[in-house]
Amino acid sequence: MTAIELDSVTKRFEDVTAVDGISLAVEPGEFLVLVGPSGCGKSTTLRMIAGLETVSDGSLEIGGERVNGVEPKDRDVAMVFQNYALFPHMTAERNMTFGADAARDISESELSKRAAEGAEMLGIEDLLDRKPAALSGGERQRVAIGRALVREPSVFLMDEPLSNLDAKLRIQMRTELASLHRRLQTTTVYVTHDQTEAMTLGDRVAVMNDGHAEQVAPPQELYDRPATRFVAEFIGEPAMNVFPVEVRGDAVVHDTGLEVPIAAGEMALKGDIDAADLGVRPEDIDIAPLDDASAGTCTATAEVTVTEPLGDSLLVHCQLGDETVQVSTTPRAAFDPGERVVLTVDADRSHLFDRETGEAVYHAPNTAVGSSEDRTQRADAVAPGAGGEEIQ
């Protein structure tokens, strides 16, 4: 039995379709992240699961039961909001117990026991007597999470819970959320626009765009084998380079003469396509000064336009014909704007996308998950030091 199942769920606000026939299945105990740009329908999807928005079309099941018209309180879900939604006139402890106390048949001693346990789990035992105004952002969010814990729901819903926190605290809370989930194993649906959060927290990640899910997959698979051009460009920082190429036999050729061979990958390039978009991640392109590079396959000359030192790597923006290509290289490499360079694309890590539909039509064989040690190492670039491996 799945914990939550959405079958062609649609949400229309008058003439705007916010969610357009999304289908998703969340397994019991799973941590599923909905990620996407602003306005993609991720929060609306979450609010439909909570019951705060009605479902216009399709079927929504929680715990095997259809809940389309069921009141939020009868769905056994608890939600954590971006703005914490704490009652400003109540102490932290009262905030945690108020909802459960006012609505459910739980004895006072049981409630305070649960609040104490939640507080201990979240490290806020000393703050229980304080009102929200006397708490920092991180402490407030802990209280809000504590309130959800006290309810002991079968599903946690989290709507960008870390977005209001500063960068450092966000990373810390992210790790805490991951370990909390590992301890409780409660089914969780988590909405964020931050791809790092999505990659590090999610057992699986649903990338949403324009009201539908582009791809639902484990984080590494999203990175290695994006199903669409949108996913390819959305997941990964800096974003994947995508530029138009012509398909000639078993290779693709760019205007500048860059030629990348197409191997027999796990997806065969369909014969009837003569134009496509080539996708290569910045770390899968080699950059070298013009003089000591030997011309060959997969190479092209380009001009450096901007360099961005990121500390652990150097991001070089190059002009390749009409395209701007980002290349990630070793941190202390010396490249200057205006310099001519040779770019070498790693043919084993390239992707092709249909120019019309944006769907992936080819992944090079080395992009398969777990196919190379090299890949694991490279993928670290997605979330440096994010502690994502804790939940893998």
Partner 1 sequence: MVRDIRAFDDSRAAAVFLAPTLAVLVLFLYYPSFETFRLSLYETLLLGQQTTFVGLDNFVTLATSPEYHNSLFVSFAFAAVVVVGSLTIALFVAYQLYRVDKWRSIYLVAAIWPYALPPAVAATVLLFLLHPNLGVITHYIEMIPGVEFDWFTNGPLAFGVLAVVAIWKQLGYNIVFLLAALHNVPESLAETSRLDGVGSLTMLREVYVPLISPTLGFLVVMDTIYAFFATFPLVDLMTSGGPNGATNLLIFKLYRDAFEFNSLGLASAESIVLFGIVSILMLAQLKLTGEYAHYGA
Rule CB under 8 A: which residues touch partner 1? 50-52, 71-75, 77-79, 81, 83, 85, 87-89, 98-100, 102-104, 132-133, 147, 151
Question: What's the angle, vertex CA 224, arms to CA 219 and CA 229, rounded to 5?
Answer: 95
State which residue, 137 or 387, has the beta carbon closest to partner 1. 137
State which residue, 150 or 252, has the beta carbon closest to partner 1. 150
We find the least distance from the C-beta atom of residue 35 to partner 1, in angstroms, to be: 21
We find the least distance from the C-beta atom of residue 188 to partner 1, in angstroms, to be: 15
**Which sign, positive or negative, has the C-alpha torsion 59, 65, 67, 69?**
positive
State which residue, 132 or 226, has the beta carbon closest to partner 1. 132
Following DSSP, what letter does each residue of 285-320 receive, concatenated?
EEEEESTTPPP-TTEEEEEEEEEEE-SSSEEEEEEE
d(CA 46, CA 191) in angstroms, rounded, equals 7
State which residue, 43 or 196, has the beta carbon closest to partner 1. 43
Q: Could you report how far apart the first and last alpha carbons of the chain are, in Å?
A: 23
Strand 155-159 and strand 187-192: the pairing is: parallel
We find the least distance from the C-beta atom of residue 134 to partner 1, in angstroms, to be: 12
Measuring CA to CA, which residue among 36, 367, 53 is closest to residue 202?
A: 36
State which residue, 143 or 222, has the beta carbon closest to partner 1. 143
Q: How many helices (H) and strands (E) does the chain have?
A: 9, 21
State which residue, 13 or 87, has the beta carbon closest to partner 1. 87
- Give the residue carrying structure tokens 């927290």: 201
We find the least distance from the C-beta atom of residue 86 to partner 1, in angstroms, to be: 8
The distance from CA 97 to its chain's CA centroid, rounded to whole angstroms, is: 32
Write the DSSP symbol of residue 228. B
Question: Do residues 36 and 45 lie in contact, with contact meaning Cβ atoms separated by under 8 Å?
Answer: no
Q: Three-state DSSP class for 153? A: coil
State which residue, 76 or 339, has the beta carbon closest to partner 1. 76
We find the least distance from the C-beta atom of residue 89 to partner 1, in angstroms, to be: 4
We find the least distance from the C-beta atom of residue 12 to partner 1, in angstroms, to be: 16
The distance from CA 166 to its chain's CA centroid, rounded to whole angstroms, is: 19
State which residue, 100 or 325, has the beta carbon closest to partner 1. 100
We find the least distance from the C-beta atom of residue 88 to partner 1, in angstroms, to be: 4
Contacts of 126 (CB under 8 A, 6+ apart): none
Question: What's the angle, vertex CA 278, arms to CA 272 and CA 284, rounded to 5?
Answer: 145
Burial class (CB in 10 A: 0-12, 13-18, 19+), 302: buried
State which residue, 52 or 239, has the beta carbon closest to partner 1. 52
